[in-house]
Amino acid sequence: MVGYLGKRTNQQRDITGQQAQSEREAMWGPIPGEIVSFDAAAQTATVRPLYKPIHNGQPVEMPHLFEVPVDLPRTANASITFPIPAGTRVMLAPMMRSMDNYDADDDGAPFDGRSFHLADMRATITGGDSVSSPLANVDAMNTHIRFNAEGTFGMRGSPDGKFKWEGSEGNLYDIIATFMELVAADELQINYGSSQGTGHRLFNRAALMELAAKVRAMAL
């Protein structure tokens, strides 16, 4: 804001500058938020904005926003969905114009003249987290799709084509490879034929061990 504002010092440029500054400060942009509740069927949420605007020199809590659309990664024929529990941080971004017609009838024409309004916020699960609370146990070497917050369950993939499926009972690739190695090493008797059964040794042990080696080689 330019100049000095007072009873006899207000110039047109000062008034214009004050109006421009006030308008800019009143316009909404992206702000962080926190999920209060999520409707998985409608993909909308009640969100608590974490930004605190200043009123009369004091920061104040914003009210909850209701039926906020939540954007999940998707294409025309594929998507990735996540459980979105309460407390999940999101990034709230306002639309340029009102989106009532688009959300109701897939019509992009604005419903009214409002712009960058709180009523037109959308939430994305990418963003909203503070740098003071980084994601724990990030794997800097492999792509990691995590099934829990700690990263102990999920899928990892390396640039050289190795994989790891980590579940409650261990790495799936280790379990499969160990099973195949035990079968091949045991000279398993397979009974088939008559009701009494006829024992036949497992003659394809070498092929089974080769398969086991391939599974083992793919495991991280």
The pLDDT of residue 27? 75
Distance, C-alpha 139 to centroid of its chain: 17
Q: Which of 44 and 219 is assigned the larger pLDDT?
A: 44
pLDDT band at 183 (very low <50, low <70, confident <90, very high): confident
- Determine, yes or no, domain membership for 6: no
**Structural domain count of the chain:** 2
The pLDDT of residue 155? 93
- Determine, yes or no, domain membership for 83: yes
**Closest to 145 measured CA to CA, from 128, 130, 124, 167:** 167
Q: Which of 27 and 54 is assigned the larger pLDDT?
A: 54
Task: Report the CATH number at residue 96.
Answer: 2.40.50.230
Which range in 19-33, 141-155, 194-208 is most confidently predicted, on average pLDDT?
A: 141-155
Q: What is the mean pLDDT of residues 82-87?
A: 94
According to DSSP, the β-strands at 198-201 and 189-192 are: antiparallel
Provide the β-strand partners of residue 124: 71, 91
Name the one residue in this structure whose structure tokens are 């061990």. Answer: 209
Q: Are residues 51 and 106 in the same domain?
A: yes
Name the one residue in this structure whose structure tokens are 């994305």. Answer: 124
Q: What is the mean pLDDT of residues 120-143?
A: 91
- Determine, yes or no, domain membership for 131: no
- Determine, yes or no, domain membership for 110: yes
- Determine, yes or no, domain membership for 22: no
pLDDT score of 1 more than 70: no
pLDDT score of 190 more than 70: no
Last residue of a domain, one of 70, 94, 124: 124
Domain limits at 202? 143-218
pLDDT band at 14 (very low <50, low <70, confident <90, very high): low
Q: Give the C-alpha separation, 81 to 113, whole Å.
A: 34
Q: What is the three-class DSSP state of 24?
A: helix
Q: Are residues 34 and 111 in the same domain?
A: yes
Q: Are residues 37 and 78 in the same domain?
A: yes
Q: Are residues 32 and 120 in the same domain?
A: yes
Q: Is 217 exposed, middle or buried (0-12, 13-18, 19+ CB in 10 A)?
A: exposed
Q: Give the C-alpha separation, 212 to 220, whole Å.
A: 14
Enclosing H/E stretch for 82: none
- Determine, yes or no, domain membership for 151: yes
- Determine, yes or no, domain membership for 197: yes
Q: Give the C-alpha separation, 172 to 178, whole Å.
A: 10
pLDDT over 70, % of the chain: 80
The pLDDT of residue 106? 81
Q: Are residues 41 and 105 in the same domain?
A: yes
Q: Give the C-alpha separation, 34 to 149, whole Å.
A: 16
Mean pLDDT of the chain: 82
Q: Are residues 94 and 36 in the same domain?
A: yes
This prediction has a pTM of 0.73
Q: Give the C-alpha separation, 40 to 176, whole Å.
A: 35
Q: Are residues 100 and 165 in the same domain?
A: no
pLDDT band at 87 (very low <50, low <70, confident <90, very high): very high
The pLDDT of residue 112? 79
Name the one residue in this structure whose structure tokens are 């009214």. Answer: 112
